[in-house]
Chains A and B, each alone.
Chain A
């Protein structure tokens, strides 16, 4: 080659995400069956979601409302007229041989989310019914199994599919987009946003192109990412794989690829390219749905606070740092807890420290969620108040925290029960201090000859002797006076 120079091509990553969120309605999208998770196989089924002959779908308006709510939060336009279409293909988990979805008139269109200072456009969000689940018997997966069983509990559960434009340029941005989306749907209360349980499913369309190019490269569709971390990892892997292919003069094949968490790789899902023709057409069993501006306005009025709004409010109203506020926003239940606790105390910073520090650590060590414990916002606020008013020391507060979390007993009761109320009685504390001085003559001599670091030792001894109840401020003052001699 001329000049023997190898110029490494610089590539730009192009990512679009398709996110399915399972809407938290009580009943399925087109029948009255429960959407409850974890019941016995095929318990949540009826002739309608089993696709029996002669049944007809009836649209669940709550699902439409949730769809509109999500659309508004994603800055989408809401269709004045929306309709449902049949997406047709044969598979044993699809009872009717078609999925009722939305083709050309989705309920929401043209929105955006701001991620890392950049607008990620949202093409559309449409409603559709979920399919069932296959259980392969006699083997871990389809391969080698003797037969397959069909569980249709999930068939007909409402989904909102949110499709972004290919506007993301890094795996981190894609992960943040997915996390932000998760937070939004959780704040709206329309979805659990649980990737592991599958109530939120993310598929990534990934391609690369030479930096500065205007045309898109061939994309692959990544599936089976069960955590936000794996979304980022899968995209990173895929970008590296595509880069290697193109650099070595090969082609990227348009296909679906399955992320394997264990090996950290993606693998082609199908041996041969399947050009699906879904033969979409309007479902004649459902009339087009008119969405009145009044209906949309009612939904908009009832919209709960969104993550971004809470982030700003926590900083402005309670003076929290951006970091503290973001932690409380990220974990919605922590933020909700905070918002309830501030009804009972104005020590916001202390409250935040407890929530983000000891409480989070306790939950982590004990593998618990906040909502699984008996800790109430009021009890936590009371404890913060007791520390502030010197009724207890923070050491005692830490001591009673596990009981506060597990039993739900009020902090003043706990302190009383355990005899841990803070003692500020000067004569009593002075007595203890004097005893400590008498019992540690050597250390006293060392201190007085200049080893001032020993002061902490004396305080510790006093606290120990008082089982932590002595008011540390009083101890400090009296001890210093006594040691001066």
Chain B
């Protein structure tokens, strides 16, 4: 594995700025690590060496010219393969977009360019970000770096595994129902889902528009704060991006003590279905927070039990609509082009989409159908409001809420893939956060008996990222659970 990864992204950036390391050297090292490790991990769909080296050259040129580098310049980053990098394929790990080359940059990608952050490759995901294990990719099964027989979580499994295995220092994923926090938990990395609208969605291929949010992975909280600093901000191209958010310095408050912070642990998430080791780790984390001077008390969010049902109606409804554009007419694969238009549609979509995507399109189409709309979509929206209110009420009493990220640690590849409902249930702790549009972070809080990482989830109110990061940073300092990489990989 890459030795530089022990230091983290910011430390590396500072060494580049100081002239101790050139960006080119860092990149050479990164690609060497990828070549060594990725045949086992399979985190990447493709590498973007040309783009990365061009960026690294810019960095080194700037250093030579004595310029001050922008934040994180020169630090290699992996991009989930549903975020556009102009001139490079965006496949969404789907056959239907297997050869689709992005004609423009995502807004976040433009920000990465402005910060001279080399994108080294596009990472694997569950097809169109639909899944919790990255097994739904049409191309490859990404492995969990801590145990290659296990899943990395999903849907941003490739981005999580790339950081956990030390192939890159930071990466971007997208979190619709936990697609960044859950793989972060399963891979022992940090993953932050920002407030809905804090990061532009322009150039992120939509799964469920009202829930999707581009979200970073890193090996420690400080690096996460730095990436958030780079990618956040209002975007005129995204009508749902938040306007008038005062500029924040997410790095500034990281070291502040959290004494007196009121933390509520969500009782519903510590009950049924939680693995004993995970439960123990969460309870231990609560004690850690108390030792840091926080007040930890129970809080109930009674409508949480309807979250999964509500989520799978809203997310699939939006997905069924967002994925209608893959019809073979303008781009993407096209089958049976010599037949009539209906045959072309049917063949293109039947062959182009995988089972899980088709399942969700059908669910969503059904719940929006005339006669069913009120009973399903309409009701799901009402439940969404109830859940949002539950959180609001809780935040009247507490600064932050706490719970597990995932009820279990990483499961075996193939273990749940035959039972979609069981797979859906594993998102119970993360989904409510997307429904409410609020921020949450997953940080490592220990290991189970098989030495698989366990994730702790901290949830904050609207735009509370600074406090979330501050609390996560305090926890991280106290437990030293950061920059975790499986040692076994070093001998691969």
Contact = CB atoms under 8 A, between A and B. Distances in A.
B104 A47 contact: yes
Nearest to A51: B325
Nearest to A276: B370
B365 A150 contact: no
A295 interface: no
Nearest to B368: A279
A286 B84 CA distance: 21
Contacts of A419: none
Contact of A51 (B82, B236, B240, B330): B330
Nearest to A285: B209
B28 interface: no
Contacts of B331: 52
A92 B341 contact: yes
B329 A150 contact: yes
Classify chain B's interface size: 35 or more
Contacts of A54: 82-84, 90, 102, 106, 202-206
B324 A96 contact: yes
A485 interface: no
Interface string B51-83: 000000000000000000000000000000011
A53 B329 contact: no
B239 A281 contact: no
Interface string A230-268: 000000000000000000000000000000000000000
B286 to A, nearest CB: 36
Interface string A68-96: 00000000000000000010101010011
Contact of A95 (B102, B201, B325, B345): B325
Contacts of B202: 54-56
A96 B325 contact: yes
A88 to B, nearest CB: 6
B127 interface: no
Interface in A96-121: 96-98
Interface residues of A, number: 28
A98 B236 CA distance: 23
B318 interface: yes
Contacts of A57: 239
Contacts of A92: 327, 329, 341
Contacts of A96: 324-325
Interface in B285-323: 317-318, 321
Interface string B435-471: 0000000000000000000000000000000000000
A91 B42 CA distance: 38
A287 B325 contact: no
A59 interface: yes
Interface of B: 82-84, 90, 92, 97, 100, 102-104, 106, 201-206, 208-210, 236-240, 317-318, 321, 324-327, 329-331, 341, 345, 365, 368-370, 373, 377
Given A47-B103, A47-B104, A97-B321, 8 more contacts: A50-B330, A51-B325, A52-B103, A54-B106, A96-B324, A279-B321, A279-B373, A285-B209
- 6 residue pairs, one from A and one from B, having the closest CB atoms: A97-B324, A284-B210, A284-B209, A279-B368, A53-B205, A51-B325
16 contacts: A47-B103, A51-B325, A52-B103, A53-B325, A54-B90, A54-B106, A54-B204, A56-B240, A88-B324, A90-B345, A95-B330, A97-B321, A97-B325, A284-B240, A284-B318, A285-B240
